[in-house]
Structure 1
């Protein structure tokens, strides 16, 4: 397995990338990490897909191993969409499959709606394509949590104390159920948190997965999903914060899209059911390449 790393210039700074090759001649796969402000690190589980194609990751500007400019004006969806196009150009990815995870699907859908050339297929993994619907789903899932957890979260958000220790502990209980159900969490998940940029997350999303107060608060691309004209696959876990019924609904809006639910997973099926996730994605990429 041949691994190369480097930096490419984008609007606002430089972003770090990682390319993984193993001799496969399929169309490359570009992976968009979640967040906003997180890193690609847990998604390196997709290295196994390099048997048939090159797999490329990059950390979005401000997070992971990329430069961290002190400029809040950079943390906007349209700049991240522009960045994605710049990364493709600099890495010469004329033909490409793109997989986005969580916020990465927000970025992916917005990018596809600019009608870029050369995208062979799109994989929407644990999609967030409507912030209001996401918030509603989280409220529903929170009601299933223990009453004391709900009380801490409600009180902290009402009083503006979402930076408190008890709020963080309460949200962690939610994350154990709906973000990653592995116990203990893999070290790669813990390390990813140290590489994240909470300022970007807070600016664009909010203090937690279920408290949406950032500049993405009104984001909703569902009225335009019918415009996506590349083969599309929607994925999520049965216990995902990206709720299965919402994921299936999104898939119904994209022409000829398919979906798959991982029955033993939450928001990280690429870790929780690694072999099945890799097999499903690999098969779909192969199918998309060989459509008549």
Structure 2
């Protein structure tokens, strides 16, 4: 073989190595935050052996407002605008079990029903026997609804901000939309997946779920700083220009969504299809429920929330103008104003 041919072969063989080295060097700096388990200085509460990243604001003598964040697998960071209520209320934030900055747990501890039970732990811990006010957003609202059905006597006011689905009817619409998103992947998605693969080469902890969490946050629910669910947001963009979370959990997202036959709120029909009963028992909650929708959300906005309202004895819908699903970040003052007025009724 000639020298020229050998040189060409060496160049061809070197190209992947050069690409790898460049990819590795250009993605330095990727990291995943520690949880309470690694850093006990992070504010937290332990209730009956379960530890949650948690903060409280305001006078504990005031009526309690508990913020129930979205997901599954998100955290309460985008929800912090509710701190503005702490002048009148004792505002409680917590990252749900196994997500955010709460300690990571195994898949067996990540179920929908257990997440509802955890909300009851939080309620009982902070309520001191009094009724509480619940504000749930997205998946958090999907937890608050069945909680109202199980424990109507423990709740004074309930805010359901854009729950994804509460009934079989709205679940089918929701799942059809996400199925279309899974099958529709453009070049930017694959580029971000490759970039994220290089970035996780720099991640070594703080725990065994760190790399999966990083992939989920950067090339799963989001593609870089862009939402995959563009129809949820004004102009298809996050209000802040990026996704704002401390640390999302891939395992919580995957495990909690696996509802088939594993939840008291889900049944299987004769054809093997799931039926969802997240509004079971809500007729026993005799106070008005406030639903909130964002103007820009074309998937689970005003139309879907109008359907959800029909399951409740008394409900009102507020639409936040100029906002998308991340309304607590995009229009925080408007959202807090609507919630405050309702809580003071």
User: Would you say same fold, with TM above 0.5?
Assistant: yes
Number of residue pairs matched?
263
For the 8 Å contact 1:10–1:87, the answer to whether it is kept is no
Correspondence for 2:292: 235
Alignment equivalent of 1:86, drawn from 108, 112, 121: 121
Q: Quick one: structure 1 residues 17 and 180, their matched pair in 2 at CA, closer, same or farther if it must change by over 3 Å?
A: farther
Change in 2 beyond 3 A, CA 1:191/1:256: closer
Which of the residues 12, 19, 22 maps onto 2:56? 19
Question: For 1:7-32, what per-residue CA distance to the aligned partner results, in whole angstroms no more than 9, with x for missing partners?
Answer: 12246x311211011x5964121110
1:159 corresponding residue in structure 2 = none
Shift, 1:182, TM fit: 8.3
Match of 2:243 among 175, 181, 190: 190
Deviations 1:238-286 (A, max 9, x none): 2223231110121122112111111212212222222211110000000
- Is the contact between residue 5 and residue 19 of structure 1 (CA under 8 Å) also seen in structure 2? no
Separation in structure 1 between the aligned mates of residue 80 and residue 306 of structure 2, nearest angstrom: 26
Q: Once superposed, what is the RMSD of the aligned Cα atoms?
A: 3.7
The residue number in structure 1 matching 2:139 is: 103
1:286 aligns with 2:323: no
Match runs of 1:7-46 below 5 Å: 7-10=45-48, 13-21=50-58, 26-46=62-82
Deviation, structure 1 residue 228: 3.0
Larger radius of gyration: 2
Corresponding residue number in structure 1 for 2:10: none
Equivalent-residue separation in structure 2 for 1:166 and 1:65 (angstroms): 19
For residues 261-276 of structure 1, the aligned pairs below 5 Å read 261-276=319-334
Spell out, residue by residue over 1:141-165, the C-alpha distance to the aligned partner (whole angstroms, 9 max, x if none): 998x9xxx97438xx9xxxxx9896
2:63 paired with 1:6: no
Do structure 1's residue 175 and structure 2's residue 232 form an aligned pair?
Answer: no
Match of 1:204 in 2: 256
Distance (whole Å) between structure 1 residues aligned to residue 125 and residue 223 of structure 2: 41
Once the two structures are superposed, the pairs formed by residues 52-131 of structure 1 within 5 Å of their partners are 52-69=88-105, 71-93=106-128, 94-128=130-164, 129-130=166-167
Contact preservation (8 Å) 1:225, 1:253: yes
* Distance change in 2, residues 1:114/1:190 (3 Å): same
Distance 2:226 2:281 in 1: 34
Measure, in 1, the Cα distance between the counterparts of 2:114 and 2:303: 30
Q: 1:275 to 1:165 in 2, by over 3 A?
A: closer
Displacement after TM superposition at 1:168 (Å): 5.9
Contact 1:8 1:90 in 2 (8 A): no
Query: How far, CA to CA, are the matches of 2:223 and 2:103 in structure 1?
Result: 30
Distance of 1:165 and 1:274 partners within structure 2: 27
TM-fit CA distance, 1:180:
6.4
Aligned 8 A contact 2:148 2:282 in 1: no
User: Is the contact made by 2:71 and 2:140 (CA closer than 8 Å) also made in structure 1?
Assistant: yes
Query: Which stretch shows the higher mean deviation, 123-132 or 172-181?
Result: 172-181
Conservation of the 8 A alpha-carbon contact between 1:152 and 1:167: no
Is the alpha carbon distance of 1:269 and 1:233 closer, same or farther for their aligned partners in structure 2, counting shifts above 3 Å? same
The answer to which of 222-231 and 176-185 deviates more is: 176-185
Distance 1:15 1:182 in 2: 33
